[in-house]
Structure 1
C-alpha cells in the first residue's frame, strides 16, 4: 500500500478514550507483526522499493513524534535529535534524510532501540491525547491511518525479503479458514457478469465517511457508460490457462511499455513468464507465501501481478480492466469490513471467498488494478504543509488500485479509497477483476 500522508477529513470526532484505544490497538498490531523476527530479519532491505521492518516501526513513530508531539505539545523534547534524518521518508519540508535505498544499512539503532523509541512516543502520545484531540484530532487520525498503511507494507516487504532467501523461510505457519475442513479446499464461484449502474454517479468520499485522504476529495459527479463487472477476481487457475496459451509470449496482448517490460527490455534483468513468487511450469506451480513455499491454489485469486500483466490478461480474456469510477459505484453501499483482511499477525494469503450481495472479494483478498491513471479529482487541493506533500505530487505515471487486500488492516479501506503504484510494480498483493463495456 502506498503511503499517503495528507490532509485528513474526520467526521465526527471520536472521544479521547475511543481514540486512545484505536491508537493503542494500531500500535500493538505493528509490534505483533515483528514478534517472530530476529535482528537481521528486521534490518535487511531486499530492494529499493522495500524498507526494513525496523525502519517501518521507527518511521511510523517519527510521524507521531514530529507532526504531533514536536509541533503541538509544549515542552516535548525529541527522543533522539539524530533520528529524524534516519526515519523521515519523503517529506521535503522536513529537511535532509537518508536515501531510500540505504535504509538497509541501518544496523544501528538496534531493533530493541527502535522498540524503546516506540514505547517512549506512545507514552507521550497517551499522556497528551486530550490536548491533541482538542485541536488536532485530524492529525491523530491521520497518524493511525498512516501506520495502518505501513503495516501492510511491512508484511509485503518481509515477504519479498524472505522470498530471496534460498531456504524459503516461513514468516508464520499457514492458516486455514475456520469453517473449511482441511480436506475440502474452498472453491471460487463460476464467473458471472453483473451489470453496473449507468449515468450520473457520485464519486469520492462523502459526508458519511469518518475519514478520507485528500486524494479521495472532493466528492464529484461522474458519468458511467453501460458496463458489467465480474462477480469475483481472476483466479490462479485462470492465470495458468493464460500462461499455457502463451499469454506472456504474445505481443498483441500487451501494451508497448508492457511488452518491453515482460521481455526485460525496460531495464529489467530477466524476462517475465509468471506472477511474482511463482516457480514451476505446466500444471505444476508453487508460490512463495508468508508461510513459505506452497502449492498454487487454482481457486484462490491470482496476486503479485503488475498492471501490465493485468491489462494483458484482460485483453486475452476478451474483456478490460474496470475504471475506478465503475469499481467505486459497485462498492458503494457494500460493507468495507467484509472479506479477507488483516485482523492480527499471521500469514496473509488470498483465498477463494463466498459471494456477498453478488460479489466475492470486493473488499480484501487482493488489491484490484483499474484501468484509471492516478490523477486528481476535479477541484482537488492538497493540504498545506509537510503532511500534504505525498498525494498530489505522485499523480504521474501511476495507476489506481481499489478494494484492499488480505494484508490491509480491517477498517482501513472504504469505497473511495485510492491506492496507486507504478505499472511494473507487483510485490504488493495485487490482482484484478474483469470488466466489460455493454
Structure 2
C-alpha cells in the first residue's frame, strides 16, 4: 500500500497521463475500431478506466461529486454485472458517440475530482481503492497496445504505430537447462504490498525435480517446427487445439506473413523481415503445447515457473504455463462488485507468468498471475520449455 497521499497522487497522475500518451500516435478514425470481440476500441479503454474510478470511488466516497454523464456507466462498464446494465462487449466498436473529445473531457473531469479527493486526507479504504484503480488502468495500458496492434495489424495497409517501439531485446546466448531440486516450496504473495487477490493465499506445493530453459523459444526454433509440418501433425495437438488449427486454417503465429523469399512479421513498428533471434510471440496455448510436444518436452507449471524465475530473465513475453487458472487454497473474493475482478474467471483458462514488452513499468511480480483462454494470442505471448 502506498502510505503517502502525495505519492499516490503522483502515481495516479503519471498513470493517467501515460494512458493518453499511448494513444497519441493514433488517428481519430483508429479510436473506434473493433475487429474482433476480444479487442476493444481505444476510445472504450479510455472511457472504461475512467468509469472505474467514477463508479467505484467518486460516486461513493466524494460527497460533492457531480457525475459527468449519466449514460457513461452504461457505455463503459465492462463485465461488472452487479454494477448495472452495460453495452454488449461485441458492440463496443459501434460507439460513434460519445466522441473522442467527450471521452478526453470525461477523463479530465474524473482526474480532477480524484485530485480533490486525495487532497482531502482520504481514508485508507479510499486510498486502497484508488491504488487498485491505478493498477487496473495499468492493465488496460497493456491492452491498449495489444488492441491497437491488432487493429492496425488487420488493416490492409499494415500501418506503423510507432517506428520507435521495440518489441524485443535480442539475447543471442544459447539456452541452458536450469536444474531445480525436488522439494516443498512456498507459492503466492505475502500481501505485504500491492497484489491482486488471485495471488494471495501463501501455500506449500511439492515439486518433483525438473529442468527449465534459461530463455524463451526463438523465432528460428519455432520456424523449424513449422517447416517440419508441425501444424499438420495431429498427434502433437490437443483435440480442441487440432480443431482450432483446422477450422481457422492456422499455419503460423499471429502477424507472420509468408512471402516468396521467407517470412515477414508485423510489429508496432511496422512490417519487417522476421527476426530469427527474437522470441516467438503471439502464439496460443495450443501452439505452445504442440511445440513442446514436438520437442519431446513440456511447458512448466506456474508453480515451477515461480520457484525457478529468479534464475532467468523474464518480462519480454507472457509465458504460457501448463497450469489451469484456479483459486489458491483459502482464496476468498473481495466483497461487493470488486469480487467480480478475478474470481469469476477461474474456469476454462490457462495461467501465464512473467509480463511482456507491453506491460506497464513496475506492474508485474514473480507472483503475478495472468490468464487467458487457450486459443487467444493477440497478447505478447511466448513459451519457455521444461523437462
Q: Give the TM-score band, short-chain normalised.
A: over 0.9
In 1, the alpha carbon distance for the partners of 2:320 and 2:260 equals 26
Where in structure 1 do 4 or more consecutive aligned residues deviate above 3 Å? Answer: 130-135, 174-177
1:266-305 equivalent positions in 2, closer than 5 A: 270-280=248-258, 284-305=262-283
Indicate yes or no: 2:106 matched with 1:155.
no
1:24-35 equivalent positions in 2, closer than 5 A: 24-35=13-24
> 359, 370, 380: which one pairs with 2:312?
359
Which has more helix, going by share of residues?
2
Indicate yes or no: 2:359 matched with 1:413.
no
Query: Root-mean-square deviation (CA), in Å?
Result: 1.6
Cα separation, partners in 2 of 1:121 and 1:14, compared to 1, 3 Å: same
In 2, the alpha carbon distance for the partners of 1:262 and 1:73 equals 51
Question: How many Å apart are 1:14 and its aligned residue?
Answer: 2.4
Deviations 1:65-102 (A, max 9, x none): 11110011112121101110000000011111000000
> 43, 48, 54: which one pairs with 2:43?
54
> 199, 202, 222: which one pairs with 2:205?
222
Q: Aligned residue pairs: how many?
A: 386
Q: Relative CO higher for 1 or 2, CA cutoff 8 Å, sep ≥ 6?
A: 1
Deviations 1:240-298 (A, max 9, x none): 0110111111111111111111111xxxxx31010001011687111111111111111
Deviations 1:303-361 (A, max 9, x none): 00000000000011111000000011122xx4xxxxxxxxxxxxxxxxxxxxxxx523x
> 312, 318, 331: which one pairs with 2:290?
312
Question: How many Å apart are 1:228 and its aligned residue?
Answer: 1.0
Q: Per the alignment, in what secondary structure is the counterpart of residue 122 of structure 2?
A: helix
Residue matched to 1:344: none
> 140, 143, 163: which one pairs with 1:173?
163
1:68–1:132 Cα contact (<8 Å) kept: no
1:361-380 equivalent positions in 2, closer than 5 A: 362=314, 364-380=315-331
Question: How many Å apart are 1:383 and its aligned residue?
Answer: 0.5
Residue matched to 1:236: 219
Question: How many Å apart are 1:219 and its aligned residue?
Answer: 1.0
In 2, the alpha carbon distance for the partners of 1:296 and 1:392 equals 39
> 194, 198, 203: which one pairs with 2:187?
203
In 2, the alpha carbon distance for the partners of 1:136 and 1:204 equals 25
Indicate yes or no: 2:387 matched with 1:432.
no
Question: How many Å apart are 1:416 and its aligned residue?
Answer: 0.8
Q: Per the alignment, in what secondary structure is the counterpart of residue 306 of structure 2?
A: helix
Cα separation, partners in 2 of 1:197 and 1:207, compared to 1, 3 Å: farther
Indicate yes or no: 2:175 matched with 1:191.
yes
2:50–2:110 Cα contact (<8 Å) kept: yes
TM-score (norm 2): 0.96
Deviations 1:210-263 (A, max 9, x none): 111111111111111101110000000101011011111111111111111111
Residue matched to 1:401: 352
TM-score (norm 1): 0.85
Residue matched to 1:354: none
2:191–2:200 Cα contact (<8 Å) kept: no
In 2, the alpha carbon distance for the partners of 1:175 and 1:397 equals 33
